[in-house]
A and B are shown apart, each in its own frame.
Chain A
Amino acid sequence: DVKVTQSSRYLVKRTGEKVFLECVQDMDHENMFWYRQDPGLGLRLIYFSYDVKMKEKGDIPEGYSVSREKKERFSLILESASTNQTSMYLCASSPTGTLLGTEAFFGQGTRLTVV
């Protein structure tokens, strides 16, 4: 089974802290994604990466950065956490060029609270 693992289920951080959310996938997928999920707003794409050291902005990249030094790991960084970044963060990965197109596999989510 494909496994996408996020390092924490729950995190509480203070305003202004630098926050790292880690995501690891074990299926050699090329594509990795970070979303945030908020009530009434659905899933919003923050950043995605289609290869090592490659990254592209999603729909709401402001206040975030990412790092993909190895194929299996995609990190989301909040340089200076703010209360409006309190949210559920979901990591996903997908292969390229399969019969299922861009089918994505998700981690269990990290619920981040910034106080």
Chain B
Amino acid sequence: GEDVEQSLFLSVREGDSSVINCTYTDSSSTYLYWYKQEPGAGLQLLTYIFSNMDMKQDQRLTVLLNKKDKHLSLRIADTQTGDSAIYFCAESNRNAGNNRKLIWGLGTSLAVNP
């Protein structure tokens, strides 16, 4: 079945770049998302990429998609302490009966050290 995998923890120093990686199995994925969850809060959509794109940049965030390897990454430039959070990768597709659901990774907990 569909699966999304990501590493559970990442620790970086303030000012460095962070790269959070995600792999997925469903080759029919249409959209891929990155969500951020700050402590004690719900999830917020951070950015997304459509499956026919290779890269998307949005201020400090860069999303890279390697569709051949089914690999998605999120790069955060100049990481700040406020970026400490859990980052979830998710994918959706348009398969019949499944076009309303997102498939989620377990989340990567990013710790930013001063």
Contact = CB atoms under 8 A, between A and B. Distances in A.
Q: Please say whether chains A and B are actual partners in one complex.
A: yes
Interface of A: 4, 31, 40-43, 45, 48, 50, 58, 90, 92, 94, 96, 100-109
Interface stretch (B55-63, B77-85, B96-104): B96-104
Contact of A31 (B8, B35, B100, B105): B100
A48 B100 contact: yes
B112 to A, nearest CB: 20
Contact of B30 (A42, A58, A101): A101
A102 B92 contact: yes
B107 A102 contact: no
Given A42-B104, A43-B88, A101-B92, 10 more contacts: A41-B106, A42-B105, A42-B106, A58-B101, A94-B100, A102-B100, A103-B48, A106-B42, A108-B42, A109-B42
B33 interface: yes
Contacts, number: 55
A12 B100 CA distance: 32
A49 to B, nearest CB: 9
Given A31-B100, A48-B101, A96-B100, A42 B43 contact: no
Given A40-B106, A42-B107, A100-B31, A106 B100 contact: no
Contacts of B102: 102, 104
19 contacts: A4-B42, A40-B8, A40-B106, A42-B106, A43-B43, A43-B107, A48-B100, A48-B101, A90-B42, A90-B43, A96-B100, A100-B31, A101-B94, A102-B99, A103-B31, A105-B45, A106-B35, A109-B41, A109-B42
Closest 9 A/B residue pairs (Cβ): A106-B42, A42-B106, A101-B31, A102-B92, A106-B43, A43-B104, A108-B42, A109-B42, A31-B100
Contacts of A96: 100
Interface in B15-62: 30-31, 33, 35, 40-45, 48
Contacts of A104: 43, 45, 102
Most buried by A among B88, B94, B99: B99
Contacts of B40: 109
